[in-house]
A = this chain, B = another copy of it.
């Protein structure tokens, strides 16, 4: 299993390199390299003798330490899930994703959902087959969710997402009705990329991202690649006409990086040093990006640094107005451009639609109108066209069903961490205001990062905060923050 883990680290490096460094024409040999390596990893993880050894250890686990028991449990989970998927289906999923992404790109350019529809139909069918192979206790969608948020089910998630929607819709409406407009002009002046990079590195370092174990590079789409607990690489892209996009992108990816760097190195290459779920991973990035990074104390700390580098662009802008500008709530049809409040309604919409697709309650052909109806209902707007509507995300073309909810789960978890941290770390706002993030990081380290896959996310959240996950903390957090900014009381 340690060998498999090292090979998976190499696989992660292949992907990082492909997106950051690889010369353009290297793509075909890279595909062959990735295929050869993933073939070997697959062969090793489905090995019958591995399964037998793990099962024997699991049956007689009295001699194992607690940590060893966790490893055996999680290794067995990984083994069993891999064994359940026939190689033929895995290949079909992968080749369909490649062709489907091509059709999707064409459909997006032409803004014509019909070009993509047959591929989405095929993907849904394959995902249903995948769910049947993997098995589930409730509904087929559970099996897909389980890939990204292990052990989470629709039965648990539905009430959470429903509460989330119910809390958000009135808040969004109240903000729209408030008539308050924030002045965003300063944010769209020109901010040279080289100076943006200086800020990015300064913030990374202040957050505690170890520069001897990490890198920051550029790529078309920002990501964090945790190659090992001592080699974590993040990327960004610099938009010179919208510098907060890169700034908060880097804070977001640094949140992911801190999680990877905080996994216990002494257990490297075991589940004790692996991320527990995408939702928990996202809770780290969104915690730093939104809860910390978009708070007034953080902005107060950052403002003098920004003004030093961008004196002209930020002339006359104080921390308070900068804070209002970066927290402007404006419904948009594009998810990745959405603010902290409306963002989750984009996710709720996708969750509802993909659940309905997998269960058969929704037809692929009816998707554009279903999408637009929900946009109107939840956000009060309608996309201009399919390209900025139902076609905007790469997830479905890539066969990623069950992935979207983890974005919102990240937000919900992050609000729950924050609620607890405010109790556990006294004076935390003042610490943030002077750029001292150590107490926060140390809380995250001991409660989340150091735990690896020891507990399922649902138990982890109880251990860390004393309460199971619910949307309440997040809604309260939003109501308080945006109630202040927009002068509305919810």
Q: How far is the CA of A211 from the CA of B37 in the complex (A)?
A: 27
Which residues from 309 to 359 on chain A have a C-beta closer than 8 Å to any C-beta of chain B? none
> Which residue of the partner chain, among B28, B40, B227, contacts A230 with CB atoms under 8 Å?
B28
Chain B residues lying within 8 Å of A36, measured Cβ to Cβ, are: 3, 6-7, 10
Does the CB pair B17–A212 fall under 8 Å?
Answer: no
A195 at the interface (CB under 8 A from B): no
Q: How far is the CA of A35 from the CA of B6 in the complex (A)?
A: 9
Q: Which of A2, A7, A26, A213 has the most CB of B within 10 A?
A: A26
> Which residue of the partner chain, among B23, B26, B230, contacts A25 with CB atoms under 8 Å?
B230
CB closest chain-B residue, reference A217: B21
Q: How far is the CA of A25 from the CA of B214 in the complex (A)?
A: 8
Does the CB pair B269–A26 fall under 8 Å?
Answer: no
Chain B residues lying within 8 Å of A303, measured Cβ to Cβ, are: none
CB closest chain-B residue, reference A12: B33
Chain B residues lying within 8 Å of A229, measured Cβ to Cβ, are: 29
* In the complex, per-residue mask of A369-402: 1 if CB is within 8 Å of any chain B CB, else 0: 0000000000000000000000000000000000
Does the CB pair B212–A29 fall under 8 Å?
Answer: no
A60 at the interface (CB under 8 A from B): no
> Which residue of the partner chain, among B10, B26, B213, contacts A227 with CB atoms under 8 Å?
B26
A268 at the interface (CB under 8 A from B): yes
A24 at the interface (CB under 8 A from B): yes
Q: How many residues of A contact B (CB 8 A)?
A: 40
A254 at the interface (CB under 8 A from B): no
Known contacts A6-B32, A10-B10: does B230 contact A23 (CB below 8 Å)?
yes
Does the CB pair B32–A231 fall under 8 Å?
Answer: no
Q: How far is the CA of A32 from the CA of B227 in the complex (A)?
A: 12
Known contacts A14-B10, A17-B13: does B39 contact A231 (CB below 8 Å)?
no
Known contacts A22-B231, A25-B231, A39-B3: does B214 contact A32 (CB below 8 Å)?
no
A123 at the interface (CB under 8 A from B): no
CB closest chain-B residue, reference A40: B40
Does the CB pair B213–A24 fall under 8 Å?
Answer: yes
A210 at the interface (CB under 8 A from B): yes
Q: How far is the CA of A21 from the CA of B231 in the complex (A)?
A: 10
Does the CB pair B23–A214 fall under 8 Å?
Answer: yes
Does the CB pair B212–A25 fall under 8 Å?
Answer: yes
Does the CB pair B213–A25 fall under 8 Å?
Answer: yes
Chain B residues lying within 8 Å of A481, measured Cβ to Cβ, are: none
Q: How far is the CB of A269 from chain B (nearest CB, A)?
A: 7
Q: How far is the CA of A17 from the CA of B225 in the complex (A)?
A: 14
Chain B residues lying within 8 Å of A277, measured Cβ to Cβ, are: none
Does the CB pair A37–B7 fall under 8 Å?
Answer: yes
A215 at the interface (CB under 8 A from B): yes
Does the CB pair A29–B14 fall under 8 Å?
Answer: no
Does the CB pair A9–B33 fall under 8 Å?
Answer: yes
Q: List 28 A-B contacts (CB under 8 A).
A: A3-B36, A6-B32, A6-B37, A7-B36, A7-B40, A9-B32, A10-B10, A10-B14, A10-B33, A13-B13, A13-B14, A21-B21, A22-B231, A23-B211, A23-B215, A23-B230, A23-B232, A24-B212, A25-B213, A25-B231, A26-B213, A26-B227, A26-B228, A26-B230, A26-B231, A29-B231, A29-B268, A30-B231
**Interface on A for B, CB 8 Å cutoff?**
2-3, 6-7, 9-10, 13-14, 17, 21-26, 28-30, 32-33, 35-37, 39-40, 210-215, 227-233, 268-269
Q: Taking A9-B29, A24-B212, A29-B227 as given, write out 8 further A-B residue pairs in contact, using a Cβ cutoff of 8 Å, ordered by the A residue number.
A: A6-B37, A7-B33, A7-B40, A10-B14, A13-B17, A23-B214, A26-B231, A28-B230
